Structure 1
Amino acid sequence: MARPILYLDISRLLRRYEHFGGPTGVDRVDIQYAEWLTRQTLFEGIAVTRSRRGLLALSAQTFATVLATLNRRWGRDVPPGFGREGRNLLHYGTERTVQRLARWRLLSGATAPNPAGRPSLYLNVSHEGLDVPQNYAGLPGAKVALVHDVLPLTHPEYDTRRTTLLHGRRVAAIAAHMDHVIANSAATVDELRAITPAAKFGTTVAHLGPSLAAPAAPAPAQRPTFVHLSSINRRKNLGLLLHIWREMAADGVAPHLAIIGRRGNDNTALELIDRCDALADHVTVHGAVNDSEAAAIVASARGLLTPSFAEGFGLPIVEAHHMGVPVIASDLAVHREVGGAAAIYCAPTDGPAWRRAILSMATDDAAHAARVAAIVPPPTWQSHLETVEAALLPLAR
């Protein structure tokens, strides 16, 4: 009996293939699924992408070319890149033109997907193109989307108006056309259901696995070091930590703070980083480093700090717990879901509580050891994908 067909939408990966960007967190999820499609045996896996001609099915050779190119660019020892950030404008423009032509050549022989009466389903794990349902709504099989978050709708103050409008169209299309939603957390399901109370889709919760590989022998830090692992955006609330660090530095009790992630839209945090002399001896900004460097910094840290105002999941907690590093996190439902009893939770606006928790973790070896011992190893990508496979197979029709 022929296997059902699984159409995996890799439109975002094709865009990254052309534009040299990433990897972001969503990119990492996208490529995990793309790699899985090549390994799994339950379905005949076919990569598809949106285009001006509608949805197109890629040949196995084209799909392999895209994956090989992105894996080379996104290797563990290659720093992430975003647009022309830090790059010569002429060289960047030339690269864009060359890659646009390469993408055009890749798609020149692609044709519309045709299941020919066989059971099939469509899967989108990146949000890309969900706002244009005419690309996929006509497919005969079930439609499934992985929803990372609905934050542009629940917390629009942290995004642009354009992003909020776009995500609103995506969520409306999910409610109208999706048969099933895979969510990275139960908290995401609750928020999605609250926004789309009349929607009929089923849901499966599958926590994401870690992206960083723990180093074999982490080098111990010379002084107690805490790490913030995220882009410097307003929602991430890094400014809270920097103000606390300035106070601790004035009191002579500041541990070290390592900041990993690209510069974003949190101008307050960026001004403190760039212009506050009191932080210079206590805060190191590493920027968007490669995965090997990020893993080495996290693994040697006394603790990871994530004071976000809102999250759809909480991947930094997973990365830290994967390496046996305890966490202090903002008191969000999703953080408690992901971090469990091992983490310490503080309100994202309670500076004194954060300071007490940081200094206790920095100086109290017994309390630190107890937090480490309480860590439950997070799910792996293998367990995530096994959960997804079990949800997808009954949907093929």
Structure 2
Amino acid sequence: MAFALPPYHPPDFTASRLAQAPVARFVAVERDGVAPAEYHATSVFPEYLQLAPGDWRLLKESRMDCVVRLGAAEDLEVVEFRRLCRGDRVALGRREDGGDGILVHTSGFRAAARRAEKFAFRTLTTRETSFSYDYDELYALLGHERHQGFVLWVLGPALAFDRDARAAFVRLVRAGFVHGVLAGNALPTHDLEAALHGTALGQEIYRKRPVAEGHYKHLDTLNSLRALGSVEAAVARGLVCEGIVHALVQNHIPYVFAGSIRDDGPLPGVIADACAAQDAMRALARRATTVICLATQLHTIATGNLTPSYQVLADGRVRPVYFYSVDMSEFAAQKLINRGSLTTRAILTNAQDFVVTLERGLTTS
């Protein structure tokens, strides 16, 4: 299947509704971290603000649930509320049709309209949905993104619990299909446990047999890594010789491991400060052109909130950001859509099977 980026269709600013639209209003912040009343909150879609009659500016590096700050050079910056300082000028307006000088453009990558039946079966994505075409689309998409995009993976620990899935993901890293990784403490911990002990939470990653003192294995792993100070040191000294983390370090793939209140250890390098972790995750999300989330509901939702549905390229072209959520649970996939990430594509399957199938298709296609 051949892949081509869909064309972007900007709004028609000569249409009477937009030609007569007012200039966007900005009001100064009076208190650090507090937006003025009637602030405009951003979405995942392309948004334009009119700074002068006929001067509509597209927001760059946007994200959901933030505000728009006007810089001294009349540049527009999408920032979190916590970054606001007294005196910052913030865009106002709740009307998104141009009525407040703000336009949320939801049809920039419009597809051909399909004829809808008044009554039809299987209109929602479920475990019974056919996903063969989705895989073929992914093979074509990742073939393009490998050299012309930035593929960001969001990984849950299930990936580290299976021998074949770990090996398949390592091959994806080495083949250039992985440009960044986001995860929690569990994924690297259990991947490193597998590298050191052949287990994940005390169970063999191939035969699934529990081992003696298995409940100590991930704690021993954490303790060993904490003694060395970093996963990079463990790789450099030859303590860790295989696995996902090893492949990331060896191939210089940027990663962010964001901690939570339930973490053991945590592993060295895991960011325990929630705001610092969000900043680090957003730095990679800003670069993403395709995001693939595997069996991690909370990190998937977090990444969905950080990632817009579009990216403005260096040459000014606007392209879509593709976002996939892979999970066995229909609830988990729908939850992200219900949180506002309306462009998410769901593939309902075991994350381990998904990675093995994807890698096999990419290397044989």
Q: Which has the higher contact order (CA 8 A, sep 6+)?
A: 2
Q: TM-score, normalised by structure 2?
A: 0.31
More helix by share: 1
